[in-house]
């Protein structure tokens, strides 16, 4: 075991998979000599060479399109989108090609690509309009595409290795604020974290809160705050957004009778709306209060200004206030 940052766990997962399987390669903007803008592929170019660490033009449709072609010819590509805000030019390649490959071939073949994309904002990120967006709701909508977003370094390594070995496409979202703030023990040996199951990070009986990525960090802090007031919040880390672990979600709601979803994206039609709909349809009889969503406001992106960015972001204080209101309902 070694303590490491989330970005180090991401790097270690890719490094180990490239050592294990010579079919695995990395492509994207600045992944080669520069080692990636966040250092995720630092040293890979010298270790594996230009045939397996490919610098690409600034063309996301090319990055994913080439990865699809590579997968069709027996390779296992990891495509890095430098910032998730710029993934949309590859929307057709992801949705119409990669995600539908198994369906269109009647199960004869898949598309084993992993698309890594840093997402999210915050005061520390200073991302502004084009480097702070949350894009998970667009892509979690698509059948045939798995969407994963880890919170701990342990999960980052295990889930990324599972994604690389998955025979179908996986969108692997990494929150930029967690890259160097999230630290934890990570095994040196080979292990996988299965794609799909959620995990309860904090047991509780008063209400259930569902979150992922950086918002899980804020939610756990909020849970600690309100615990001193006698509010016992259960906090569930969704980890995988597609496929969604409906059993864990519903079991938690039936245990506490109250539900809250926290996400950074715009509240309207964000990913939390699907979780709310699931709970309303499948656990309505268990509810003892309204389903609450805490999310970003209806503005185009996280503002660059520090005060405005702080106003945009769901924080531990805002989440704790929502917990108090729901607990008192």
Q: Which residues are catalytic?
A: 131
> Hey, which residues does 266 pair with through a beta bridge?
296
H helix intervals, the chain: 6-20, 44-48, 60-72, 91-92, 101-104, 136-140, 153-165, 178-181, 214-227, 246-256, 271-282, 306-312, 316-328
Burial 113-135 (b: 16+ CB within 10 A, else e): bbbbbbbbbbbebebeeebbbbb
Rounded Cα–Cα distance for residues 7 and 284 (Å): 40
As given in the structure block, the two tokens for residue 80 are 């890095």
> Hey, which residues does 172 pair with through a beta bridge?
116, 148
Q: What is the residue whose two structure tokens read 């979600």?
A: 249
């Amino acid at each position: 075991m070694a303590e490491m940052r989330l970005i180090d766990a991401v790097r270690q997962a890719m490094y180990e998979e490239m050592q294990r399987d010579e079919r695995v390669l990395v492509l994207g903007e600045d992944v080669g000599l520069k080692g990636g803008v966040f250092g995720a592929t630092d040293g890979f170019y010298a270790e594996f060479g230009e045939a397996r660490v490919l610098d690409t033009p600034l063309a996301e449709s090319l990055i994913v399109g080439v990865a699809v072609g590579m997968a069709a010819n027996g390779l296992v590509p990891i495509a890095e989108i430098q910032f998730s805000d710029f993934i949309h030019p590859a929307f057709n390649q992801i949705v119409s090609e990669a995600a539908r490959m198994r369906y269109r071939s009647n199960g004869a073949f898949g598309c084993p690509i992993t698309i890594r994309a840093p997402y999210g904002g915050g005061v520390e990120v200073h991302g502004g309009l084009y480097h702070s967006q949350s894009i998970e709701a667009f892509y979690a909508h698509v059948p045939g595409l798995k969407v994963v977003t880890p919170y701990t370094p342990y999960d980052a390594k295990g889930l990324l290795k599972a994604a690389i070995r998955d025979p179908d496409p996986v969108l692997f979202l990494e929150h930029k604020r967690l890259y160097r703030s999230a630290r934890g023990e990570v095994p040196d040996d080979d292990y996988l974290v299965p794609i799909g199951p959620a995990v309860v990070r904090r047991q509780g009986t008063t209400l259930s809160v569902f979150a992922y990525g950086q918002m899980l960090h804020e939610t756990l802090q909020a849970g600690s705050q309100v615990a001193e007031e006698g509010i016992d919040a259960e906090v569930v880390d969704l980890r995988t957004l597609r496929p969604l672990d409906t059993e864990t979600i519903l079991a938690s709601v039936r245990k506490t009778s109250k539900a809250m979803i926290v996400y950074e994206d715009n509240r309207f039609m964000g990913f939390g709306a699907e979780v709310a709909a699931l709970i309303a349809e499948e656990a309505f009889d268990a509810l003892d209060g309204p389903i609450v969503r805490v999310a970003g406001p209806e503005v185009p992106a996280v503002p660059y200004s520090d005060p405005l960015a702080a106003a945009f972001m769901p924080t531990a204080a805002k989440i704790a206030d929502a917990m108090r209101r729901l607990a008192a309902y």
